A and B are shown apart, each in its own frame.
Chain A
């Protein structure tokens, strides 16, 4: 499962019909696509199902990918489509979907500026590193990600977790870069608020937070 394989190597092996082509492909992208599927679906079995569907579809279509530069975005496009299809109404995870209006209405994590009461924001970024790097904080973020609308969730996972650029994310989802930026910002704002709630709830407030965002 090495990572030194280039996309050029993979495509050449596929075109030549080499036996090692599948292993090269899975060795480079397998773990990443599985993690992506689980994160997007929020459920291991669903994530594994999506992963398998993605691998099959992708491997069967690899020979059609003309440029190695296009391979990564094409793979994530295949994976994203499978994930989003699985989360349509009727799918196991669809009940987690919340319309953005509901998110805004029920939680104070989207800050509305103006009006009579000025929001005061707790700067938990100043908390000690050992708190900010705790596994439970990452877990809280990942759980919160599942409550995002799917169009924001996929952008957030691709950009901030998988590390794709804005341009790559736009290419994966076949949307404009401006749409990627807007969805990413809305997702981050929602998640930022949920982490504030979480840190307040676990008592991190006493270790550095000091304002109205405690809950």
Chain B
């Protein structure tokens, strides 16, 4: 990232609508939901700017870590089998199913 020649030319100019749109719709590109013209603009920006490339990469990594959370369960509170069964029994009782 020390190659400063890559940096300034692609930092989206507030007046450049296409760049701003690419930045604002980056997640759509990652998710494969963006129009072709946006994808092309993002690719162009990535090829020219290390920082923008890093932003794309870390945004994708953030999404991937969230996906890992799906498998591991809530990190800050146990949602273990015992708690689940306790809750279900409570509901069963309230519904008159026991």
Q: Does B78 contact A (CB under 8 A)?
A: yes
Q: Which residues of chain A have a CB within 8 Å of any CB of chain B?
A: 1, 22, 26, 30-31, 34-35, 38-39, 42-44, 47-48, 51-52, 55-56, 59-60, 111, 113-114, 118-126, 132-133, 135, 137-139, 141-143, 156, 160-163, 166, 181-182, 184-185, 188-189, 191-192, 195-196, 210-211
Q: Which of A1, A51, A60, A120 contacts B7 (CB 8 A)?
A: A120
Whether A39 and B59, one on each chain, are in contact in the complex, defined by CB atoms closer than 8 angstroms, is no
Chain A min CB distance to B12 (Å): 5
Chain B residues whose CB sits within 8 angstroms of the CB of A135 once the complex forms: 72, 75
The reply to whether B13 and A185 form a contact with Cβ atoms under 8 Å apart is no
Q: Is B68 an interface residue (CB 8 A)?
A: yes
B1-57 at interface with A (beta carbon < 8 Å): 1, 7-8, 11-14, 19-20, 23-28, 31, 33, 50-55, 57
Residues of B within 8 A of A210 (CB): 1
Asked if A188 and B62 sit within 8 Å, CB to CB, the answer is: yes
Tally chain B residues at the interface, Cβ within 8 Å. Answer: 56
Chain A binding surface, main DSSP class: helix
The secondary structure that dominates the B interface is helix
Question: Is A56 a contact partner of B77 (Cβ separation < 8 A)?
Answer: no
Cβ B58 vs Cβ A44 within 8 A = no
Least CB distance from A194 to B in Å reads 9
